[in-house]
Amino acid sequence: MTYQITKTFTFAAAHHLPQLPDGHKCRRVHGHNYAVTLTLEADDLDQLGMVRDYGDLDPVKRWLDGTFDHRDLNEEMPVPPTAEWLARLTFDMWAGKFPQLAEVTVSETPATTASYRP
């Protein structure tokens, strides 16, 4: 049996994907209201009956806001600023602090998501 919790954080940012073909709409500078969801899993609950206290995840929100909110992701990310890479970078940043972290999902729109799970 596995227990699972999720917490979603949001921020707004711009990016463009110059690696896409000429004429592709995402090649142009545009913005999104991103939603980043962390999924934490555990086989057993802690002494408080939780996978992890949601409040423990507050540093993730501060990091997302301080690093990406209202910025150009092309200037902030060392890789192409796709949702897939944002999910991977977020996972790699926080996996050491939260050993229960199992997956990070990034949504650029209500209809699109990209996830990273090692």
**Active-site residue numbers?**
26, 70, 108
Q: 99 forms bridges with which residues in the sheet?
A: none
**Contacts within 8 Å (CB) and 24+ apart, 106-109:** 106/34, 106/35, 106/36, 106/37, 107/34, 107/35, 107/36, 107/37, 107/83, 108/32, 108/34, 108/83, 109/32
